[in-house]
Structure 1
Amino acid sequence: MYNSIIDSHIHLDVYKKVDRKNIIDEMEKYHIEQLITVSMNLASAIINLSLSRNNPRVNAAFGFHPEQPLPREQELDALCLLIKEYHHEMIAIGEVGLPYYRQRENPKLELEPYIEILEHFILESKRYDKPIVLHAIYEHAPIVCDLLEKHTIEKAHFHWYKGDKRTTERLIQNGYDVSITPDVLYDKEIQQLVKDTPIDHMMLETDGPWKYKGAFLDKMTHPKMIHWSIAKIAEIKNLHIEDIYAQIYRNTKEFYCLD
Structure 2
Amino acid sequence: MIDAHIHLDQYNDAEIKRIVKNMQFGGIEGLVCVSTNLESSMANLALAERYPETVHPAFGYHPENPLPNEEEVIRLLSWMEREERRMIAVGEIGLPYYLRRRMAKEGRPFDLNAYVHLLERFLSFAGQYGKPVVLHAVYEDADLVCDLLERYRIRKAHFHWFKGAKHTVQRMADLGYYISFTPDLLYESEIMELARSYPADQVMAETDGPWPFEGPFAGQLTQPTMVLKVAEAWAALQGVAPEEARCQLRENTRRFYGI
- What is the number of equivalent residue pairs in this alignment? 254
In structure 2, distance between residues paired with 1:15 and 1:50: 14
> Quick one: distance in 1 between partners of 2:177 and 2:47?
27
What 5-or-longer segments of structure 1 have no aligned partner?
none
Describe the SS at the equivalent of 2:29. Answer: strand
Compute the displacement of 1:54 (Å): 1.2
Mapping for residues 34-73 of structure 1, pairs under 5 Å: 34-56=30-52, 57-73=54-70
- 1:115 matches 2:112: no
Q: Does 1:100 align with 2:101?
A: no
Q: Give RMSD over aligned pairs.
A: 0.8
Q: Which letter maps to 2:12?
A: K
More helix by share: 2
Matched, 1:27 2:23: yes
Deviation at 1:53, TM superposition (A): 1.1
Q: Name the counterpart of 1:200.
A: 201
Give the Cα–Cα distance (whole angstroms) in 2 for the partners of residues 215 and 26 of structure 1. 19
Rounded to whole Å, the distance in 1 between the matches of 2:98 and 2:88 is 27
Deviation at 1:212, TM superposition (A): 0.2
> Normalising by the residue count of structure 2, what TM-score does the alignment of the two structures yield?
0.97
Deviation at 1:28, TM superposition (A): 1.3
3-state SS of paired residue (1:8):
strand
Q: Is the 8 A contact 1:165 1:196 kept in 2?
A: no
Cross-structure match for 1:141: 142
Which consecutive unaligned segments of at least 5 residues does structure 2 have? none
Q: TM-score, normalised by structure 1?
A: 0.97
Task: Supply the AA of the counterpart residue of 2:36.
Answer: M
Q: State, as a whole percentage, how many aligned pairs show the same letter.
A: 44
Which whole-Å deviations, capped at 9, do the CAs of 1:192-238 have from their partners, x for residues lacking one?
A: 11011111010110000000001100000011111111111111111
CA contact (8 A) 1:99 1:114 kept: yes
Distance (Å, rounded) in 2 between the aligned partners of 1:232 and 1:103: 32
Cα distance in 2, alignment partners of residues 123 and 24 from structure 1? 34
CA contact (8 A) 1:191 1:236 kept: yes
Counterpart mapping for 1:156-235 below 5 A: 156-235=157-236
Superposed displacement of residue 32, structure 1: 0.7
Moved over 4 A (4+): none
